[in-house]
Amino acid sequence: MELGSNFAAKLEPFLLMSKSAKGAAAAKLIQDATSAPGVFVFAELLETSNVQELANSQQHSQFYSLLQLFSYRTYKDYLEHKDQLPPLNQAQTIKLKYLSIVSLATERRILPYSFLLQELQMPTIRELEDLIIDAIYLDILRGKLDQKEQQLEIEYTMGRDLEPGKAENVLAALQSWAATTSSVLSALDQELERVASYEAATRMENEEHERIYTLILKDVLDRNKEKPSSRRPGALSNALGSNIPSDLMDVDDPTVEMARNKSRKPPTEMPSKSVRKRNRG
């Protein structure tokens, strides 16, 4: 649930009473609304016709200014113009300080204790921390007290009423934010498309590399299977202890010839006696 989502309902009884309250009764109504627990938004009450009439009343105009103060100004503004405003009771003072923290949080997310002590005129850090803790419990803001760094880290706050003329500034800021966001999203989309294209190209390149590698490997394996044996064992190679190609066996090589001659048996000699007998005859 959003912060301050039930604050508008808390104002409803005062809106109903404002329809019949005029003059002093309307001034009293403003005092009651700004003091009432849980009432932190006042724009609708400020816009009612009977309250608007107080702005032109010399006697009660200060109460109209008081309601403006609680709608969109701060405790520092009250201190600067307290002579033109009704005095605040304790409930009003605490409430205005709560709302002042909300306004200060719109300008910076980190609020140093030293800054808050000055803006809210708090006497001690302990009282300041108690004020902040109460504001968190009342659903006015969400944040973290960093006692080591002496600062308040804001996470969320309720929304305050807008001062007349400030709506245009807020609209311009929102339009600027929307344009910046659109530009960032467009840049992210382009980057995502670039990354997707790069990944697709890389995947195709890897697939093509794998395909070519597979074809080359298959071709090499097929060639190895089809290649005939280039060596045959022979009698000569067995005798010499080495492999000699068969086509060299017919070459007129001295080494081959010597090998052939060694393998032949020498011719048988005739006995010398038979020769002598023939000579005699």
Question: What residues pair up with 202 in beta bridges, in sequence order?
Answer: none
Contact indicator for 4, 139 with CB cutoff of 8 Å: yes
Packing angle of the helix pair 61-72, 24-35 (nearest 10 deg):
30
In terms of Cα–Cα distance, which of 79, 107, 105 is closest to 93? Answer: 79
CA distance 48 to 16: 10
Give the C-alpha separation, 27 to 17, whole Å.
12
Q: What is the pLDDT of residues 16-27, one digit of tens each?
A: 999 999 999 999
The reported pTM is: 0.63
Quick: pLDDT tens for 189-220. Answer: 999 999 999 999 999 999 999 999 998 988 88
Query: What integer pLDDT is reported at residue 175 of this predicted model?
Result: 77
What span, in angstroms and rounded, lies between the C-alpha atoms of 136 and 153? 12
Q: CA nearest 86: which of 61, 52, 51?
A: 61
Instruction: Show the tokens assigned to 103.
Output: 């306004």
Rounded distance, CA 95 to CA 67, Å? 13
Ramachandran region, residue 150 (left: φ > 0; alpha: ψ -120 to 50; beta: rest) = left
142: β partners: 156
Per-residue model confidence (pLDDT) at position 238: 46
Q: Which residues of the chain fall short of a pLDDT of 50?
A: 1, 230-253, 255-256, 259, 262-263, 268, 270-281
**Which amino acid is it at 160?**
R
Confidence (pLDDT) at 4: 57
| 3-class DSSP assignment, residue 10 | helix
